[in-house]
């Protein structure tokens, strides 16, 4: 594939170490899809790499622009990185994009209105719904957008939803799930949830996929203009392990991620069972919802 990225973005070298070769789109190249990534995660280079990895699996040519919240000070990403690779919403709101990805954020235990950038985020949500062919809202962003557009509440969990969970599809024939198996796996890492009973009350929403254990997974609105995904299919194999080790080192009450380590034994390594699903999910999104 060919993808236009900000020059010298660290993700490029990291992915080349995984034998993923990324070619650059030049000015003489055919027209490309324009994708924006609104990155709300604290360690932004890691999240960039996760999403570039998935987008690079597509044969489509595309340009990826990185967007940040204007007045949020990142404690875990150097300001030099943000200055070099990111744009503010006001810098891109007049531009055309075919697709948008909005990441999760570590603010899920706060009331939505208590998030200090909530007003700017709602402005971006409304802009995306008007201007962009299809938007993927991931994890907390899915909860936030469902609340903003439809008033869907979130609920605190007694214990963190943490691990790799099996999911099933409710509606056959939806292009987003073309080629999927009857049961597929996806990572979750969150302290709150949305509930199917609330989704089913709203005629404009389609509950497309669910898990018996981790609950609502994919919700769609407006024929795919808005797609809400509560999990983290973009996660690299070691991401949940790093989260687990981090929380243990802080003395937090955390259980081992479910269905993640081979035979639930850290020493036996990680059982990676969601990457094929993740690649197919993003490929289908680009082909059937973003591509003109």
Q: What is the pLDDT of residues 136-189, one digit of tens each?
A: 999 999 999 999 999 999 999 999 999 999 999 998 899 999 999 999 999 999
Question: Which pLDDT score, from 0 to 100, does residue 28 have?
Answer: 59
Is 139 catalytic? The answer is yes
In the residue annotation, 18 being an active-site residue is answered as no
What pLDDT does 18 receive? 81
pLDDT at 29: 61
What domains are defined for the chain?
Answer: 3-290 (3.40.50.880)
Residues 137, 227 contacting (CB under 8 angstroms):
yes
The one catalytic residue in 167, 188, 193, 232 is: 232
One digit per residue, pLDDT tens: the chain, 292 residues?
578 888 788 888 888 888 776 765 555 566 589 999 999 999 999 999 999 999 988 888 899 999 999 877 777 788 899 999 999 999 999 999 999 999 999 999 999 999 999 999 999 999 999 999 999 999 999 999 999 999 999 999 999 999 999 999 998 899 999 999 999 999 999 999 999 999 999 999 999 999 999 999 999 999 999 999 999 999 999 999 999 999 999 998 899 999 999 999 999 999 999 999 999 999 999 999 999 7
pLDDT of res. 25? 54
Reported pTM = 0.94
How far apart are alpha carbons 152 and 155 in whole angstroms? 10
Active-site position among 48, 108, 234, 277: 234
- pLDDT at residue 194, as a whole number: 98
> Quick one: three-class SS letters along 193-253?
ECCHHHHHCCCCEEEEEEECCCEEEEEEEHHHCEEEECCCCCCCCCHHHHHHHHHHHCCCC
- Residue 234 annotated among the catalytic residues of the structure: yes
- The one catalytic residue among 139, 167, 188, 277: 139
């Amino acid at each position: 594939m060919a993808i236009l990225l900000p020059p010298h973005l660290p993700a490029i070298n990291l992915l080349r170490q995984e034998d993923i070769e990324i070619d650059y789109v030049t000015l003489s190249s055919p027209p490309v899809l324009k994708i924006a990534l609104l990155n709300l995660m604290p360690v932004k280079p890691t999240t960039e790499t996760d999403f570039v990895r998935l987008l690079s699996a597509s044969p489509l040519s595309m340009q990826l622009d990185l967007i940040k919240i204007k007045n949020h000070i990142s404690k875990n990403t150097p300001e030099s990185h943000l200055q070099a690779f990111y744009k503010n919403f006001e810098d891109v709101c007049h531009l055309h994009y075919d697709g948008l990805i909005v990441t999760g954020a570590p603010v899920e235990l706060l009331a939505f209105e208590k998030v200090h950038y909530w007003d700017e985020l709602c402005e971006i949500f409304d802009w995306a719904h008007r201007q962009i062919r299809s938007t993927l809202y991931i994890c907390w962003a899915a909860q936030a957008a469902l609340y903003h557009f439809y008033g869907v509440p979130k609920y605190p969990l007694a214990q963190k939803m943490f691990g790799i969970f099996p999911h099933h599809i409710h509606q056959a024939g939806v292009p987003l799930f073309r080629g999927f198996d009857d049961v597929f796996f996806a990572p979750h890492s969150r302290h709150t949830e949305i509930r199917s009973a609330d989704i089913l009350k709203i005629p404009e929403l389609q509950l497309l996929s669910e898990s018996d254990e981790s609950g609502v997974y994919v919700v769609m609105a407006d024929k795919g203009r808005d797609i809400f995904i509560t999990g983290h299919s973009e996660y690299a194999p070691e991401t949940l392990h790093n989260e687990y080790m981090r929380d243990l080192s802080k003395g937090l009450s955390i259980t081992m991620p479910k269905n993640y380590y081979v035979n639930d034994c850290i020493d036996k390594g990680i059982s990676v069972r969601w990457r094929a699903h993740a690649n197919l999910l993003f490929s289908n999104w680009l082909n059937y919802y973003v591509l003109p």
